[in-house]
Structure 1
Amino acid sequence: MLKKLTALAIAGMALSTTVQAADRDYISIVGSSTVYPFSTVVAERFGKETKFKTPKVESTGSGGGFKLFCAGAGGNTPDITNASRKIKSSEVELCAKNGVKDIMEVVIGFDGIVLANAKSAKQYDLSLRDIYLALARNVPNPDGSHTLVENPYKTWQQVNPKLPNNKIEVMGPPPTSGTRDAFAELAMEGGCKSFDWIKSMKKTDKNKYKAVCHGVREDGAYIEAGENDNLIVKKLQNNPTMLGIFGFSYLEQNEDVVQGSKINGMAPEFEDISDGSYPVSRSLYFYVKKQHIDQVPGIEEYLAEFTSKRAMGQEGYLADKGMIPLSKEYYAKVKNNVAKGVTL
């Protein structure tokens, strides 16, 4: 009898824990360091202006965010993950494997990835090919043959005689970052495929092509800064010849001390990022566990605030923070999908 009561008590404790976890009274948000400042300003307004608690927002990087988000459902896992890239099919599969099946995708705006340096130094003018040759692990042999060699370039001038004779030293995000993924896809691969013989490799050996075009050198020329864009800005101020990689919003917030490099002759500007003509532009997202909407108070209302015209609109407060807003038509579609609870 005592054993039976003990078993019932333990079962009751387990049930109580589950209920308590599901009844978490605040929204848990993780993910992209780029989306973090936008998500934080929405969370702060939401906490001040509604009856709900201020959501807890953590900057873990897009990859780290998806890992936490897809670990399972329930109160001990995040409700929302921010991302500066689209969710991968492998991450959707991981989510499904762990019981996260109804995922809402919300596109919130656009961002440009910048290569910036201190305003006290001369502005860089780089092509996508320059960026690839400077930062790739393996590059085309300088002798002109269709072979790859370990990156031999130490200065920007060695990459391109028109560039300054400065040491190649670029501080940027780690592999878990969506900014790193987008930079590899848009900037690195953009320069890589300017070599026709490498571009043709995509048809014959897709894995090798990706390794060649996305692989970043590990000899000290590229320095990982973690998920901390503010640290990169500080380092640039102390080292005027160094370049840093981060989102356009951080450039805007620190335009008194840093400047964006021209890429393919184009400086990072609001209008050029919004229409996609700036070469390193990307969409920003967040993802929501639909099954948590009924479990955690405030998620539905938080979604309504984030996708409101005053936040995401052309003249919204997120645009004031440096986010490039969606077109009116695209915004209307996103808002409608959120209202209907459309999932992937």
Structure 2
Amino acid sequence: MIATLAMLLLACANEGPEPVRVVGSSTVFPFAAKTAETYSERTGIRMVVEQTGSGGGHKLFCSGDRSINATTSSRPQKPSEAALCASNGVKPVVEIRLGFDGIVLARSVAAAPMAIDEATLYRALARELPTSDTDCTAMPNPYTTWSQISPDLPNNRIEAYGPPPTSGTRDAFVETAMETGARHYPCLAEVERDTPNLFRARAHELREDGHWIDAGENDNALVQTLINTPTALGVFGFSFLEQNTDKVAAVSIDGIFPSRRTIRSGDYPVVRDLYLYLRGDDETGIAGYALELASDEASGLGGYLEAIGLIPLPEGERDLMRRRILATFEQNEGQAR
């Protein structure tokens, strides 16, 4: 039944003249584009994959524009985005986990090696800090060099380039690294317990005084910036680090360097899931494309996406994603009959 349904989905999709269009995450883009190329070669279905950032992708996908068939994302869809989808008739929305990625801090290979922990990262990059461990009165971040935070760190200006507010990488970075760092202040840990929304606001606000710089969605441009500014840090996905090891080197966090092993095991502290979202009533080739993404050949161990940096899901979870896709579109076929 599964094989028959998959063939039916492909056959129906070939009838449409418009391309299947996927928007979204710059982190997921290499995986989405490689899969689109493979899928198009196999089926003849035209594919268009665009980088808009995760936030931009959800906005377009949930707008009701039926020319947009799916969005990729480097963080889960937010409740506000789900509400926008529902209000514009984009339903059902099917969430497919694709694999794992780590968010890395990196410097030029010309710079001296650097190791930090999440508490230091929060002290360096938060817009405001507590006055003391026990007094959460907010004060503007006073640190301008790393050595002011710890004498073990270099006497370099704090300068970090990272993704803009529309980026899923930024969302995942503040929800993992920055929140964990904020909890090292005992008073902020109490705030999280008593007023979670206030804690999130304090933990998620990055500096706006020139020590954190929004670098856009173009990771290639970010790497060039790090080459030109060797003492600066860059924040981006692990897969992009793997593609540029001749230019940039990772900074260890809590004594652990990012690698496929440490990300898959969860030992590396800044790990996030990668997603595809599609509308379950879509009659184009998006279901077949999603099945290709979730296939063993693409996203399994040794698959062509692992070869370019995707950290695969466990086999059982990947099988669950395939069944989720098939169950949704099998139901649609039954209703159409």
User: Do they superpose with TM above 0.5?
Assistant: yes
Tell me the CA shift for residue 143 of structure 1.
8.8
Alignment-derived partner of residue 79 in structure 2: 89
Match of 1:313 among 293, 300, 304: 300
In structure 1, the residue matched to 2:157 is 167
CA distance in 2 between counterparts of 1:135 and 1:271 reads 28
Alignment partner of 1:60: what SS? coil
3-state SS of paired residue (1:99): coil
Shift of 1:204: 2.3
Q: Paired residue for 1:274, among 264, 267, 271? A: 264
Determine if contact 2:75/2:168 at 8 Å carries over to the other structure.
Answer: yes
Q: Give the Å deviation of 1:285.
A: 0.2
Partner of residue 287, structure 2: 300
Give the secondary structure class of the aligned counterpart of 1:66: helix
Q: For residue 239 of structure 1, what is the aligned residue in structure 2? A: 229
- On the 8 A contact 1:85/1:178 being kept in 2, the answer is yes
Aligned partner of 1:62 in structure 2 is 54
Q: What whole-Å deviation, never above 9, does each CA across 1:176-231 have from its counterpart, x for those lacking one?
A: 00000000000111100111210110232222211111100100001111111111
Amino acid at match of 2:259: E
Instruction: State the number of aligned residues.
Output: 316
Residue 336 in 1 paired to residue 323 in 2? Answer: yes
| Rounded Cα–Cα distance in structure 2 between residues aligned with 1:183 and 1:139 | 18
Q: Percent identity?
A: 45
Q: 1:200-279 residue pairs with structure 2 within 5 A?
A: 200-279=190-269
Match of 2:28 among 35, 48, 72: 35
Does 2:313 match 1:323?
no
Amino acid at match of 1:50: T
- RMSD of equivalent CA atoms: 1.7
Look up the match of 2:9.
Answer: none
Question: Aligned-pair distance for 1:144?
Answer: 7.0
Contact 2:134–2:186 at 8 Å: present in 1 too?
no
Please give the secondary structure, in 2, of the residue aligned with 1:52: coil
| Cα contact 1:66–1:81 (8 A) shared by 2 | yes
CA distance in 2, matches of 1:135, 1:239: 18
Q: Is the 8 A contact 1:31 1:65 kept in 2?
A: yes
1:128 aligns with 2:115: no
CA 141–329 in structure 1, closer or farther in 2 if over 3 Å, else same: same
Q: Contact (CA 8 Å) 1:73, 1:99: kept in 2 or not?
A: no
TM, length-normalised to structure 2: 0.90
Change (3 A) 1:174 1:273: same
Measure, in 1, the Cα distance between the counterparts of 2:325 and 2:224: 38
Q: Could you tell me whether the CA contact under 8 Å between 1:127 and 1:265 is conserved in 2?
A: yes
Deviation at 1:156, TM superposition (A): 0.7
Q: Is the 8 A contact 2:135 2:187 kept in 1?
A: no
Aligned AA (1:64): G
2:62 aligned with 1:80:
no
CA–CA distance in structure 2, aligned partners of residues 166 and 91 of structure 1:
40
Residue 95 of structure 2, aligned match among 89, 98, 105: 105
Query: Secondary structure in 2 aligned to 1:34?
Result: coil
Q: In structure 1, what is the equivalent of residue 174 of structure 2?
A: 184
The answer for the alignment partner of 2:63 in structure 1 is 71
Distance 1:153 1:304, change over 3 A: same
Structure 1: how far apart are the matches of 2:133 and 2:60? Answer: 46
Find the aligned partners of 2:84 and 2:43 in 1 and give their Cα distance.
Answer: 34
Change in Cα spacing, 1:24 to 1:222, as seen in structure 2 (3 Å) is farther
- Whole-angstrom distance in 2 between the partners of 1:73 and 1:241: 44
Query: What is the Cα deviation at residue 23 of structure 1?
Result: 5.0
* 1:18 aligned residue: none
Deviation at 1:333, TM superposition (A): 1.5
Question: Which amino acid in the other structure matches residue 291 of structure 1?
Answer: D
1:304 offset after TM fit, Å?
2.1
Change (3 A) 1:143 1:299: closer
Q: Quick one: which amino acid aligns to residue 114 of structure 1?
A: V
Q: Give the TM-score normalised by the residue count of structure 1.
A: 0.88
Which amino acid in structure 1 is aligned with residue 63 of structure 2? A
Q: Could you list the per-position Cα deviations for residues 250-302 of structure 1 after superposition, in whole angstroms to 9, with x for gaps in the alignment?
A: 0000011111110000000111101211100010001001122x1x2x22221
> Deviations along 1:30-64, whole A, 9 cap, x unmatched?
111100111011111122222211x1111111111
Deviation at 1:88, TM superposition (A): 1.0
Separation (CA, whole Å) in 1 of partners of 2:39 and 2:315? 23
